[in-house]
Amino acid sequence: MTIKRNIWSLFYFVLMGGIFLFLVLSYSRYKDIEDDYHQKYRYFTGIISQSAHSRFAQDEFILEVLGIQLLTDKQYQDTMKTQKFFDDLLKKNPTLAGFGLVNTDGDFVSASSNVNLSKMPNLLKDSHTEESFKSALVSDKMVLGRTFYVAGMDEWVIMLYKSIRNTGGEVIGVLATGLILDHKNSFLNKMDLPDVSVFTIVKDFNAEGKMYRQFTNHADIELLTQEEVYDVPVPLEIYQAVGSNIKDKYGISMEDLKVSGETVSFELTDQWNRHLLMSLMFDETYQLWCLVQVDFSIVRETFMKSLVTYFFVFMLSFFIIFMLFKRIARLDKIKRDELLFQVMHDPLTQLPNRTYLYKHWEEMASHPSQNIDMLFIDLDNFKNINDGFGHRYGDAILVQVAQRLRSFFNEQSLVVRQGGDEFIILMPCHEENREQTLNKLIEFISQPYLIENIEFSIGLSIGTAQYPKDAQNIESLMSLADTAMFEAKKRKNVFCIFSSEMQSRNLRKVDIEHELRSGMKKDEFKMVYQPQINADGTVHGVEALIRWENARLGFVPPDQFISVAEDTGLMPKLGDFIIQRSLQEIYRLQSEMKMRFQLSINISVRQLIEIDFLDKLLNEIKICGLERSLITLEITENLFIEDIEDTLPLLMRIKEKGLGISLDDFGTGYSSLNILRRLPINELKIDKSFVDDILTVKEDSAMAKSIIEMGKNLSMHTLAEGVETIEQANLLREFDCDIFQGYYYSKPLSIDDLAKFFKAF
């Protein structure tokens, strides 16, 4: 979950970063485009200004040469000659509308033949010409006059004046010409400018403080009529607005700009509310402002065009990144699912494991109406297969068992491998046919398994507990089902349904375990001894038996607490006590009474499997001083159920050291004659259960008889325990039993009572 969230938050982080980058890039791109346009339009302005300048310089040169020619030999006085000059010159300069010579009073003296002199105004009197003509009279340079419609030439022209002076420097007259204002073919129109741009040439303030346009290209002529363009001065507000823009951007005044000759560019909103990009330059020679402007939207449009590309690239990258993330997230999910499966399942059988069980428990238990049966299954004798044939076979059987289990239960049930050869099943509880189901299950699972041509038979012990009747949570339910399984295990290949008695027994077990620990510290244990009598009536020996009187639980019989001690790991310690105490007490008694008799000590399997058991025992015997040949260890058959090969060497060593070995409770277990033959045993102890009914039940007496015969054959002596009556003793003696033990002779006695018993014997 967290990884998934992380991947997507990383994606959003990248997305945000990308958007930020996109915005920054777009912004810088916008600035670049804006700068480009500014630069471009400043460049245009320079070109236009340059080109206008050279055009006027060329015209000035023509007028200058013309003046010099007219002055030579005072030819200007000859009107016809002058006109011819004018006409010749006009042919060579078709962009000029005509030439004229004006006297200092402002009247035309002569003109090229195309000029209708009668329609030409007096230049000193006409408002279009008065101001510039006056300045031409005092200047020795060419002066630009206003642009206006000249009726005598029938053209819109830019008037140009140049005074001619005699050698004394006195003004003789003024040469005038008109540069045709042809918007289509004008010299200025040849510029390679984008059609959207407008350029305008404006003469700087005249003596009257007015500014008139000299020329503008066509682009925005629709907003003004031609008369308005050239006859109405440029509004002062525009000049001021431009001035303050330049001041803001460049920190210089218009006067500074005139002197510097630099090209500037800026943005401005004009009187028609158009947002414009403007570029401006001043030509000092002819006192001309050269202005180029373009609607600022061109910048935005250009930007939008590149933005579309940017946006497309951005979206594409993000689509790719998104797909990449999606793929990662998907792979991650697959991996997580796999991992989850691994965590939740057993790798060998692919069954859900305990982790899964816990996780799904809540789900199953969340249906309150639903009663659930838990089955705790343990395979019988599985260890033998594992040990005898190897784990390969063991694993193969587990896999097949798992398959059978899965096929046996429907999908409402959960089959879990709890570990080893243990399985747990949760299934809906149907009390009425539960036993039937369990029997069927046992039959189904215990059918033979064929693995690599070897047939295996396997049994199973099942314990069941019910939710919510027996337990409300999974842990206690498991422990109860396990307890029931343990019960079943005693008989094998059966099921056992958990009962409340089992529970109280269990509780008592817990109680016992708790008290055992403290009891051992508080010295609550003591030993008693039950005499064993030979067939001839002499004393053979005693069997040491432990007794426990607990402060809280009262007298606890050994059958109850020995198994608890075994299950909880307390047995070795308790065993040490038993050995030490009985060795000491019996040695003292034998020394005091100057008697020699056998001492039998019960040894639990748990003690026997301790590595140092024998060494410790021998050491204790040495310390106390009792003869080794007087000591017999009583062991039970269940020692051989699992692995005889492991215990045999130990038993051999015990025998080598001169200790006796007695096989306790003989006849109740599984020991075969074969095994018995290999064991280094001195004594067979006929179990009390055969002795009990030896007089009434035929099979029991037959059993007792054959055990005794078997013992004879294997040269072991036989001991009958639990002899309570003389009749039992007599019959056993008839069967040739060697030794007798039981209430008929004596109950187990404390060491003091044992001394009394022997004295009275």
Binding site for ligand C2E (CB under 6 A): 530, 544-546, 557-559, 562, 578, 602-604, 664-665, 688, 721-724, 741-743, 748
Q: Which of 214, 302, 220 is nearest to 34 (CA)?
A: 302
585 binds, among ligand C2E, Ca ion, none (CB under 5 to 8 A by kind): none
How many angstroms separate the CA atoms of 524 and 516, rounded?
A: 9
In the chain, what are the helix, strand and coil shares in percent, each to the nearest 5? 50, 20, 25
| Interface with Ca ion, residue 637, by CB under 5 A | no
136 binds, among Ca ion, ligand C2E, none (CB under 5 to 8 A by kind): none
| Residue of 346, 421, 634, 738 that binds Ca ion (CB under 5 A) | 634
Least Å distance between CB 677 and ligand C2E? 24
Least Å distance between CB 340 and Ca ion? 54
Q: Closer CB to Ca ion, residue 270 or residue 665?
A: 665
| 245 touches 262 (CB < 8 A) | no
Question: Computed over its alpha carbons, how large is the radius of gyration of the chain?
Answer: 64
Q: Closer CB to ligand C2E, residue 545 or residue 710?
A: 545
Helix axes 474-489, 354-365, angle to 10 degrees: 120
* Residue the block writes with tokens 């040739």: 736
Q: Closer CB to Ca ion, residue 664 or residue 738?
A: 664
Q: Closer CB to Ca ion, residue 466 or residue 602?
A: 602
Q: Closer CB to ligand C2E, residue 426 or residue 578?
A: 578
Stretch that binds Ca ion, among 135-143, 285-293, 425-433, 598-606 (CB under 5 A): 598-606
| Interface with Ca ion, residue 602, by CB under 5 A | yes
How many angstroms separate the CA atoms of 557 and 748, rounded?
A: 13
604 binds, among Ca ion, ligand C2E, none (CB under 5 to 8 A by kind): ligand C2E
| Interface with Ca ion, residue 741, by CB under 5 A | no
3-state secondary structure labels for all residues of 480-547: HHHHHHHHHHCCCCCEEECCHHHHHHHHHHHHHHHHHHHHHHCCCEEEEEEEEEECCCCEEEEEEEEE
Q: Closer CB to ligand C2E, residue 13 or residue 743?
A: 743
Least Å distance between CB 490 and ligand C2E? 15
CB neighbour burial string for 188-227, b if at least 16 within 10 angstroms, e if fewer: beebebeeebbbbbbbbebeeeebbbbbbbebbeeeeeee
| Interface with Ca ion, residue 664, by CB under 5 A | yes
Least Å distance between CB 507 and Ca ion? 28
| Interface with Ca ion, residue 683, by CB under 5 A | no
Q: Closer CB to ligand C2E, residue 404 or residue 547?
A: 547
How many angstroms separate the CA atoms of 75 and 212, rounded?
A: 35
Q: Closer CB to ligand C2E, residue 224 or residue 520?
A: 520
| 100 touches 111 (CB < 8 A) | yes
Please report, to the nearest 10 degrees, the dihedral formed by the alpha carbons of residues 278, 284, 287, 293 taken in order.
-10
Which two three-digit tokens encode residue 731?
A: 């019959």
182 binds, among Ca ion, ligand C2E, none (CB under 5 to 8 A by kind): none
Q: Closer CB to Ca ion, residue 384 or residue 668?
A: 668
Least Å distance between CB 746 and ligand C2E? 9
Least Å distance between CB 603 and ligand C2E? 6
Helix axes 558-567, 571-593, angle to 10 degrees: 130
Which two three-digit tokens encode residue 37?
A: 């346009």
Q: Using CB atoms within 10 A of its CB, is residue 1 exposed (0-12), middle (13-18) or buried (19+)?
A: exposed
Least Å distance between CB 500 and Ca ion? 31
SS3 657: coil
| Interface with Ca ion, residue 636, by CB under 5 A | no
The dihedral built from the CA positions of residue 689, 691, 695 and 701, taken in this order, carries a sign that is positive
How many residues at the interface with Ca ion, by CB under 5 A? 4
559 binds, among Ca ion, ligand C2E, none (CB under 5 to 8 A by kind): ligand C2E
| Interface with Ca ion, residue 530, by CB under 5 A | no
Q: What is the DSSP secondary structure assignment for residue 352, as one 8-state letter?
A: B
Least Å distance between CB 694 and Ca ion? 15
459 binds, among ligand C2E, Ca ion, none (CB under 5 to 8 A by kind): none
| Residue of 665, 692, 724, 753 that binds Ca ion (CB under 5 A) | 665
186 binds, among ligand C2E, Ca ion, none (CB under 5 to 8 A by kind): none
Q: Closer CB to Ca ion, residue 487 or residue 634?
A: 634
Instruction: For strands 198-203 and 288-295, give the pairing.
Output: antiparallel
743 binds, among Ca ion, ligand C2E, none (CB under 5 to 8 A by kind): ligand C2E
| 290 touches 49 (CB < 8 A) | yes
Count other Cβ atoms within 10 Å, centred on residue 161.
25
Per CB under 5 A, residues contacting Ca ion are: 602, 634, 664-665
